[in-house]
Each structure stands twice: as C-alpha cells, then as structure tokens.
Amino acid sequence: MQGYTKKMHVRLESDPAKLVQYELPLGDQLIALNPLIGKSIRLTYTGNIACVHCNRAIKKSFNQGYCYPCFISLAQCDLCIMKPETCHYEAGTCREPGWGEAFCFQPHIVYLANSSGIKVGITRQTQIPTRWIDQGAVQALPIFKVRSRYISGLIEIVFAKHVSDKTSWQQMLKSKAEPVDLAAKRDELIKICSAELAEISQRFGLQAFELLLNEPVVDIHFPVDSYPVKVKSFNLDKNPDIFGVLHGIKGQYLLLDTGVINIRKFSGYELEFSAD
C-alpha cells in the first residue's frame, strides 16, 4: 500500500481493558496496526512530500507537514498554539481571526497526565482522550474546564511552576510509567496555586474556569509487547527504508526491534507500507 500519511488515528476502547486501537492513514486508506504487533513491517519513503494543508508538492516540510507559505501564514502554525499564553488575538494581530475564534474560543481542559511522569497540559475538550493518547499517557485526569485557550494557558503556567509541562519522549518509550495518585496531586496543586488561580478568576470573571472535582482518572493501555532498552529514532530523510518487527505502538510512535519512528513528525510524506 502507498499514500501520503498523517498522524495515526487512535481510538480508546470502552471495555475494561482501555486498550488503544491504532490505524495508519495512507492517502484514503487506513491500515489497522494492532493486529500487526509481533510481525515484520516495512516503511519506505518515496521522496515525495505534500503539504498537509494545501496539498502542494514540496521538498521540505515545516511544523510536521506544512509548506513554508502555509507555515508562515496559518494561525494553526503560530507560536501561540504551542504557548497559548502568548495569544495576541486581542491585539488584532491574529493571522486568521475567524479560525482563532473557532479554535481558541471554545472549551478547553487543563489536565494532569502520567506519561514519563506527572505533567500538566491543556487541550480542547473535543480532543479528549486523543491528546492524552498522542502523548503516551497511561493515566489522565481533567482538572479545569476553561472558557478559552488563552486562559487555560495561563493556568498551565501557574501549575508548571510546580510540575512539568513536558513529556520526555525517550523515557515514555522505554517503559510503562508507574501509576501515581493524580487526584492527590491535583488537590496539592490547587492548594499551592490558590492565590494565582484567584487572580485569574478575578481578571476574567467567575465563569472563566470551572473546577472538575468529580472526574475519574482515565487509565490508558497501549499495544506494546516489549519496550526498547535503548531508544534509537529513525529519520526518513536520512534513512528512507525502515523495517523490523513491530513490538508496540505508543503515543505517535511505532516501536520496532530496529528502532522507533514518530509517524506524526513525517506527516505529508508519501510512504509505501508492507507487512508479513
């Protein structure tokens, strides 16, 4: 099979196992990957790349799949997407005000997750549990429902003074994180950060964010039969032909016995895929 790829599609099973099901998009095709655990697979990069937004043929991609004109013009590629606290919509300088209104001014969730350890993060409410899965989190707990992306970013900064806001992808891929008490950590952070949270509430109003005290911890299990002892990351630009036994899938990574590859990083690349 051959086609241009994007990040893997994920689905969290609703049964007690809570196992993530993965599909690899290649053009209009979707390849079910879970049944291939333990089998040999091959990914071959053809040398062709297409922008994930405008579909133009390009020689180099930016920001996980965009051509340069899209990268510098689209609001979804702006710095404020990664750092919401830098939002400049109110200054009238948003690249695409209409897109910003639809994307940023909708309910967001501030959460704690356990991937390579406890971290704080934010995501649109509609992206739960996809965001947690893409980060390789084995546990996640919503803390606040927030009115906008900007405000959720401000809360994240407050919490990030006391807990990490990043995932160590190498550590995440080496093993399954040990369970932690996310509810206890939530209560600790709320207590420590109460004054700063009150300031945010006073600045934006009582309806700016809602504390979620009754949300359960979500457990997530990934299809992995063995973790790599040492993480060797493949780069399709340097090594266009990758093959090996698929030992697992976690986050947006395929875990082969020969190394790991971040599929999302190579969005827009045309790949040939085969499996034994």
Sequential pLDDT tens for the chain (276 residues):
999 999 999 999 987 778 999 999 999 999 999 999 999 999 999 999 999 999 999 999 999 999 999 999 999 999 999 999 999 998 999 999 999 999 999 999 999 999 989 999 999 999 999 999 999 999 999 999 999 999 999 999 999 999 999 999 999 999 888 999 999 999 999 999 999 999 999 999 999 999 999 999 999 999 999 999 899 999 999 999 999 999 999 999 999 999 999 999 999 999 999 998
Helices (H), 161-268: 169-174, 182-192, 194-204
C-beta separation of 266 from 5 below 8 A: yes
Handedness of CA 261, 264, 265, 268 (dihedral sign): positive
C-beta separation of 8 from 263 below 8 A: yes
Closest CA to 166 of 116, 125, 127, 128: 116
pLDDT value at position 175?
86
Residue 8 burial (CB count, 10 A): 22
Q: Is the pTM of this model over 0.75?
A: yes
C-beta separation of 136 from 172 below 8 A: yes
pLDDT value at position 54?
97
Write out the two tokens for 203: 């600045």
Helices (H), 13-136: 68-73, 79-82, 97-104, 130-134
Maximum pairwise Cα distance, the chain: 60
Half-sphere exposure of 45 (CA within 13 A, CB side): 20
Q: How far apart are CA 136 and CA 145, in angstroms?
A: 22
Q: How far apart are CA 266 and CA 73, in angstroms?
A: 21
pLDDT value at position 70?
97
Helices (H), the chain: 68-73, 79-82, 97-104, 130-134, 149-160, 169-174, 182-192, 194-204
Q: Where are the beta strands (DSSP E) in the chain?
A: 2-4, 9-12, 20-26, 29-32, 40-50, 57-58, 108-114, 118-124, 139-146, 209-211, 218-219, 241-250, 253-256, 259-262, 269-275
